[in-house]
Structure 1
Amino acid sequence: MSAVDAYPPTDPLPGTVLDGRYRVDVMIATGGMSAVYRGLDLRLDRPVALKVMDSRYAGDAQFLTRFQREARAVARLTDPGLVAVYDQGGGNVGGPPPFLVMELVEGGTLRELLRERGPMPPHAAAAVLGPVLGGLAAAHRAGLVHRDVKPENVLISDDGDVKIADFGLVRAVAEAKITSTSVILGTAAYLSPEQVSTGDADPRSDVYGAGILAFELLTGRTPFVGDSALAVAYQRMDNDVPTPSSVIAGVPAQFDDLVLRATARDPAARYADAREMGADLEAIVDELGLPPFRVPAPTDSAQHASASLPAPPPRTAAAAPAPRQPTRTLPRDDWPAEPQYESETGRFAGIDIEDFYWARQRARRTLLFWVVAVLTLTALIAAGAWTAGSNLNNLL
């Protein structure tokens, strides 16, 4: 996800109220398939996070069915390492896009924290992994698989709580008729080999993602790089994840073993689920005597930036058009009389008719004068020419 400007002019959601209850305030972040907004539950006066899916998913009945089913399943889960889901809605024709109403975690994402601070020492990495594995374990016990374990989906509160979000969304999107390139780009570095080859996923796939996450926490980078998302994804088919200590000095051997077992290419060689991996992590913490650590929230986070922005003014619904009135029938006898234009007797356009008469007589006399003058002149010229012709011999 990437931070965006708050309620840009092209975004129609800020200021609206979803399902008559959830006011959309400020956008926190946006991704390839959804956008997350800071909002308010007007009924309970409680701040919430609203994850609004892209409008293209609204027309896919299969996606909506899966989306609603996954949301109900996740809403039943309770664990300190999980972002609570309160409600879901939208997706109906003519209404808002599908959306989730979730716990608002004031803080930021693990991705933002890694950008700010880089690789973590073992005790800090363990403090992040513990709650993540605890939340995944609660989901695995309920038969749910996350499928998209990555730093963007791990939230850290200002109080130091670490929670994982977005359960079920990847499965709902994967089963929809619409694909999303950005989802593939964001997930490629954390996909298990079986997800790349067949698309199948079970708790051991989440374990693989948690192993890649542990590697990144300890080293500051993911184990595989490439020119494209596809190249990154396929590297894990033929290559094992290296040990963190081969990338950065000082990583205990126990963490090397944790990462190698979690990221084994053969699912049967991994931890069976997040509970088993979490138990191994606790044993490592005890063995090394790692101190407790309060994970700091990122300082420069999109969530903090959105909290400082004012909420947009509420959008008022457009006034309903006035009801159409039936056409009134008016009998001919009741028709209004047409306006009568009275003419002035003896006048036209404000000029006396008599003036028109005398002007016409003057025009006639003038024309007659010119006709007589032209005829007279013509006769004189003709007479002169005849006289000159008769006396031509005498002149010569």
Structure 2
Amino acid sequence: MYGHTDAWRVPGYTEIRELGVGGGGRVVLARHDADDIPVAIKYLSDQLMTDLHFVARFRHEARLLAAMDPNPHAARFYEYAETSRGAAIVMELVDGVSLRAMLRSEGPTGPEAALTVLKGSLLGLAAAHEIGVVHRDYKPENVMVEADGNSKLVDFGIAVQAGEGVSASGTPPYMAPEQWSGGRAGPAGDVYAATVVFFECLTGSRPFRAQNIAALARQHQATPPPVDEVPPPLRGLVERGMAKRPQDRYGSAEEFLRELETVAAGAYGPAWEERGRRRLAALAGLLVPFFPLKKDVPEAGTALAETRLGGLLGQARMKIGLTLAGMVVIAAGTVALVQTVSGTTLQAGTSIETPSPLALDPSSAGDAPTEEPEDSEPSPEPSPVSTSPKPAASPTPVVRPTAKPTLRPTRRPTAKPTVKPTVRPTVKPTVRPTTRPKPSAKPTSQPDPTVTATIDPQPTTRPTSRPTATRTTAPPTTRPTPTVSEPGGSSPPQDVPR
């Protein structure tokens, strides 16, 4: 046996795989060796084989199934086998999924599909009621839906003869009020359970949802069903099918079936069953991988595969899109940073930022020292290319004599800048002999011939307005003379001799 190599097997069958296992036993998929027909074999567990009561119930189930005539809405009985090593019931294999799996996966089925499931179940129950058998355990787990939308009733494990007085047993959410008290079994109990399942197909939830057994029993015995949750045309079916007293319900599955067909045709037209079956077939098609014979059913092209593929592709597209968006943001930030940095030319030895951008060309700075001597008046001051007598006045006099005085006048530790000259790369500024620059935090009286703007010589005077400077936009043939007004009350600017 599959997974049980030393267990007893029903002779004449080749087992393929296990379909399910529970407290009462296990169900395996097998093939009949004589004609290769697939079957489902239900084995009683080894533990229950030692209990004579459970063995007797298992035999009783087999006898009831054998007494039923073949019906397209109930699983067909083949044979019963029992030895000292085990007991088994061989049944028709229903190649489909349980209604429970369908509801759990897809939710409510819709009115027409729910009516179709209910009709198929009532036809299966009617075949049992005809021979006096009451199922007593009708629930979504015991309704199988095939690929074509047809439904079949299975598992008569606790079925009894109608009229028998039995103890309370069944599945609590679907038990009729009289079943809770251990009343006599009858077809009305199956009608009640079928109506509860019908309600669940319509709404996706059970009518009574108490979390403990005592409260659930009170709801089934005293609380009216919430018929306002179902479509109005079907409320009468639910209300009568779930009546508290057995005599107020439909007397049999056949009576319920006749009422169902009348209501369905009036509410949804004569083609309601065909549409409902197509809907069930579509829902079952989504669960093809769970069919017992799934290896024999091609899975390509099913709605389930398309849905999953679409979901995976959608997630991949989303990830790619987010990645591209992140790359664009990073690139935009990089471009903005580069443009911001490129707006100001930073030179070695300087760490001061000016409020206005300076476009200082190193080549023009290097040319200035060669022409300064002919613009300057004769004085004992040193040439711009030579080292200043006081190093504090010019930190880097040899490498870039004009770079630091040009940048530093815009920020001083003790006073705000008075001049913010903007120099074009082609402009060669001139120097006035009377200008006293402040290249360091502590200004000196030493004049510096490399200053490009007139600076307020008084360190204690704060500017009250910004100076304005004129600048030349075209390359001049003669050096321009920038005019700077000094707000500190200093001497007026002087023209530089050409």
The one of 279, 282, 285 aligned to 2:258: 279
Q: Where does residue 79 of structure 1 map in the other structure?
A: 71
Matching residue of 2:80: 88
Closer, same or farther in 2 for the Cα pair 1:134/1:164, shift >3 Å?
same
CA pair 228-302 structure 1, distance change in 2 beyond 3 A: farther
Give yes or no for contact 1:30–1:36 (8 Å, CA) kept in 2: yes
Distance, in Å, in 1 between the alignment partners of 2:111 and 2:156 is 27
Partners of 1:39 and 1:230 in 2: how far apart?
42
Deviating more after overlay: 58-67 vs 264-273: 58-67
Matching of residue 60 in structure 1 with residue 48 in structure 2? no
Give identity over the alignment, percent. Answer: 35
2:97 matched to 1:108? yes
Alignment equivalent of 1:304, drawn from 291, 309, 316: 291
List runs of 5+ in structure 1 lacking aligned partners: 1-5, 310-396
2:4 partner SS: coil
**1:252 has 2:236 as partner:** no
3-state SS of paired residue (1:99): strand
Q: How far has the Cα of 1:298 moved from its partner? A: 5.5
Cα offset, 1:65, TM superposition: 3.2
Q: Secondary structure at the match of 1:108?
A: strand
> 2:218, 2:46 → 1: CA distance?
31
Q: Name the residue aligned to 2:22.
A: 31
Number of aligned residue pairs: give it.
283
* TM-fit CA distance, 1:31: 3.0
Query: What residue number does 1:206 align with?
Result: 190
Instruction: Please give the secondary structure, in 2, of the residue aligned with 1:167.
Output: coil
Q: 1:105 Cα deviation (Å)? A: 1.2
- Cα deviation for residue 36 of structure 1 reads 1.9
- 1:63 and 1:171 map into 2 onto residues whose CA distance is 14
Within a 5 Å distance, the mapping from 1:32-181 to structure 2 comes to: 32-77=23-68, 78-90=70-82, 92-93=83-84, 95-96=85-86, 98-169=87-158
Aligned to 1:27, the other structure's residue is in SS state: strand
User: Which segments of 5 or more consecutive residues in structure 2 lack a partner in the other structure?
Assistant: 297-498
Structure with larger Rg:
2
- Where relative contact order (Cα < 8 A, 6+ residues apart) is larger, the structure is 1
Q: TM-score, normalised by structure 2?
A: 0.53
**Selected match of 2:11 from 7, 15, 20:** 20
CA contact under 8 A between 2:42 and 2:89: conserved in structure 1?
yes
Structure 1 SS opposite 2:133: coil
Distance 1:260 1:300, change over 3 A: same
Closer, same or farther: CA 22–197 of 1 in aligned 2, 3 Å:
same
Shift of 1:203: 0.5
CA RMSD of superposed structures (Å): 2.8
- Provide the secondary structure at the position in 2 that maps to 1:12: coil
* Alpha-carbon offset, residue 126 of structure 1: 1.0
Question: Alignment partner of 1:240: what SS?
Answer: coil
Give the Cα separation in 2 of the matches to 1:306 and 1:228.
38
Residues 197-234 of structure 1, C-alpha deviation per residue, up to 9 Å, x if partnerless?
Answer: 12532100000001101110111110111223443233
Amino acid at match of 1:99: A
Structure 2 Cα separation of the partners of residues 102 and 305 of structure 1: 14
Q: How does 1:300-339 map to 2 (within 5 A)?
A: 300=287, 303-304=290-291, 307-308=294-295
TM-score, normalization by structure 1: 0.65
2:134/2:159 contact within 8 Å kept: no
**Amino acid across the alignment from 1:84:** R
C-alpha distance in 2 between matches for 1:301 and 1:192: 33
1:63-104 deviations in whole A, cap 9, x for unaligned?
Answer: 3334223313312322111011111123x33x13x2211111
In 1, Cα distance between equivalents of 2:63 and 2:35: 20
Alpha-carbon separation, structure 2, partners of 1:85 and 1:228: 36
1:269 paired to 2:258: no
- Matching of residues 308-387 of structure 1 within 5 Å: 308=295
CA contact (8 A) 2:143 2:151 kept: yes
SS at match of 2:291: helix
